[in-house]
Chain A
Amino acid sequence: AQSVAQPEDQVNVAEGNPLTVKCTYSVSGNPYLFWYVQYPNRGLQFLLKYITGDNLVKGSYGFEAEFNKSQTSFHLKKPSALVSDSALYFCAVRHFAGSARQLTFGSGTQLTVLP
């Protein structure tokens, strides 16, 4: 079985400070990892993904994530947070048994950037 853990329900950070949203995963084989963001009453927006190659991946809106195979982690980062980054963030792993393409999501982390 594949799973994703987001150990922090809530992360608060001051505007202009760096932010980190944590994610660890458990999967057999090589993982395909994704980060999504959700604003109130909206669907999920794709931020970035790790498939293979460079462990540091860059995505939308200045976000990046670092893949660490030994620690089975895929933490989301941003050098300088904006108030508009306040939202709910989800880490996900692509689960494919056979031909299935479902995503398994973490429980989500509410990020609040304080002005």
Chain B
Amino acid sequence: KAGVTQTPRYLIKTRGQQVTLSCSPISGHRSVSWYQQTPGQGLQFLFEYFSETQRNKGNFPGRFSGRQFSNSRSEMNVSTLELGDSALYLCASSLNRPSTEAFFGQGTRLTVV
């Protein structure tokens, strides 16, 4: 069974640009969550999608957005990039039961210069 796949693995962007990250969940998983990991702030929740609907959103500015497609694949977009957006972005998928564990992809390392 394939794991969670995130593309691309590495990305370098310039301030002011926008970026789109992609996540393919484990087959059968319809819940997809995104997290931002930085040395200073640790792991912070961005948003969660289930059946193409955003169920919950973390405390991030509106420049951060996402969506989920009918095949459960998800994308997140960051517009008007800032230096502080440099981070490891992690996607996790899970079954729709609170007792089940989330499985993480290897992440996308975004560097904003």
Contacts and interface: CB of A to CB of B under 8 A. Distances in A.
Interface of A: 32, 34, 36, 41-46, 49, 51, 90, 94, 96-108
Given A32-B98, A51-B99, A94-B98, A100 B105 contact: no
Contacts of B92: 44, 103
Contacts of B56: 97, 100-102
B52 to A, nearest CB: 14
A23 B50 CA distance: 29
A99 B99 contact: no
B63 interface: no
Nearest to A52: B99
28 contacts: A32-B98, A32-B99, A34-B102, A36-B104, A41-B107, A41-B109, A42-B106, A43-B4, A43-B104, A43-B107, A44-B90, A44-B104, A45-B104, A90-B43, A94-B98, A98-B55, A99-B50, A99-B55, A100-B48, A100-B55, A101-B55, A101-B96, A102-B45, A102-B56, A103-B33, A103-B92, A105-B35, A106-B42
Contacts of A90: 43
Contacts of A107: 42
A98 B96 CA distance: 12
B103 A46 contact: yes
B101 A49 contact: yes
A2 to B, nearest CB: 11
Q: Which 7 A-B pairs have the closest CB atoms?
A: A43-B104, A100-B56, A105-B43, A44-B104, A43-B106, A51-B99, A46-B101
Interface size class of B (residues with CB under 8 A): 20 to 34
A79 B94 CA distance: 30
Grouping DSSP codes into helix (H, G, I), strand (E, B) and loop, the A interface class, with mixed when no group exceeds half, is loop
A67 to B, nearest CB: 14
A41 B88 CA distance: 9
B22 interface: no
B83 to A, nearest CB: 20
A46 B92 CA distance: 11
Contacts of A51: 99
Interface string B81-94: 00000000010101
